[in-house]
Amino acid sequence: MNLRKKYIRFILPSIASMWAFSLYTMVDGIFVARGVGETALAAVNLSMPFTSFVFMLGVLLATGTSTLISIALGKGDLEHARNLFNQNLAVTGVCSLVVSALVLLFRRQVALFLGATPDTLAYVEEYVGTIALFALFFTISYNLEVQVKANGAPQVSTLGVLSCGLMNVALDALFVLVFHWGVWSAALATGLAQVTSTLVFLVYFLTHRDRLRFSRFHPQLNLYRRIVPLGLSEGLGEMSNGLVVFFFNRTILQVIGEQALPTYTVISYVNTLVLMTMTGTAQGMQPLISFSLGANKRYECHKLLKYGLVSVALFGAVSFSLAQAGAPLLVSAFLEADSAIFPYTVKALRMYACSFLVMGFNVVFAGFLTAMNRPAPAFAISFGRSLVLLVSSLAVMSYFFGDQGLWYATLVSECVCLVLASGCGIHYFRRQCRQ
């Protein structure tokens, strides 16, 4: 199988997995908006940064470990790969249980930190508390999904994520629309869906024991000095959506007011779908890049980067075009056409969609550097786009241009980050030429 076919074989299941995740989170919002109301929809959006944090924990540990596992497999060191696999499952489990305990103990404080208002506080507490109960399954499921791809079975990751998405949709409809259990039941549906995908991956590893398998491990905790830096880029990339939501919510409350929270809720769901496409491309190509690096085929690594950049350029252009033409249809899935904020939300979505043209380049190049075992520049790109540049852009753009500047802030931060990524790329390839 040639390299291009391998690339397609790996990224398509990865993108499908990310789409499934994005779509079932969007369905959460649709069911809550239709079954409970706009205030509840805003509460779910306020809770999203916490859900992203839980996923980030899984991504942080899974991505770094997957990079080392893929390099070990490329070198033929099966014993080391298996030890890394099992050790990381144990560490991830302990970390997620600690997070669950802390959040359940300080649920109200967490809700207030997320920006809950008097109208949304009870809803946010319910949602966050329920998600916290299932944190273990969120992190373990993601770890197993990533390692399935490292094990050479990307189609199984798609099966697991799709089963998760379908279960979430079915339970959302049952709990929210039929039983009328409210906001917390949407979180319950999401948690039980994660249990479903975890079981799918467990069955796979219990029945496919030729490479990675469950077994005892010899603790090598010193390896987390490499794993954590390697995972920071992808972890922050996963967390970036949550951070974006958090800082946008804070800025919206200051610049526009609480009535605009549902507007950004709709935009964040659409943005998640686009961002996950870019992330799926980056994550799908990473095992191939790390394997080629371990096999000392650096030219293949660079070809894979080219394929990734071309892919996200096309994805970005299509996403932008669809958002411009289909904004009213997208908004109508969440808000009634006669809602007071419907026209404003359509306008805001079209402005925000300009960022879709740029973000993919930053995500893919950061993923490439992670897979090449270069965590420092990867971290700089991800940290820049998800926190430093975004916060700065939000503050400056909203100050000078008000609410319109707010919706263009992501475009500005992604463009500045692209300059940073380009500089890192030039430095990397100059070093390669000298070598």
Condensed to tens digits (0 to 9), the pLDDT of residues 323-360 reads: 999 999 999 988 888 888 999 999 999 999 999 999 99
Residue 98 clears pLDDT 90, i.e. is over it: yes
Q: Mean per-residue pLDDT for 309-315?
A: 95
Listed ranges 24-33, 126-135, 204-213, 250-259; the one with the highest mean pLDDT: 126-135
φ and ψ at residue 178, rounded to 5 degrees = -95, -55
Instruction: Compute and round to an integer the Cα radius of gyration of the chain.
Output: 21
pLDDT tens across 244-291, in order? 778 888 899 889 988 888 899 899 889 888 988 998 899 889 888 988
Return all residues near 399 (Cβ < 8 A) that are at least 6 apart: 405
- Report CA dihedral (324, 326, 329, 333) to the nearest 10 degrees: -80
pLDDT at residue 115 in the model: 86
Instruction: Round to whole Å and give the CA distance between 352 and 269.
Output: 12
Task: Provide the whole-model pTM.
Answer: 0.76
Q: Mean per-residue pLDDT for 89-108?
A: 95
pLDDT at residue 184 in the model: 92
Looking at the chain, the number of H-run helices and the number of E-run strands are: 15, 0
Instruction: Round to whole Å and give the CA distance between 212 and 144.
Output: 11
**For residue 407, what pLDDT band results from cuts at 50, 70 and 90?**
very high
Per the CB < 8 A criterion, the answer to whether 390 and 243 are in contact is yes
Pick from 41, 71, 30, 12: nearest CA to 281: 12
CB burial class (10 A; 0-12, 13-18, 19+) of residue 255? middle
pLDDT at residue 248 in the model: 86
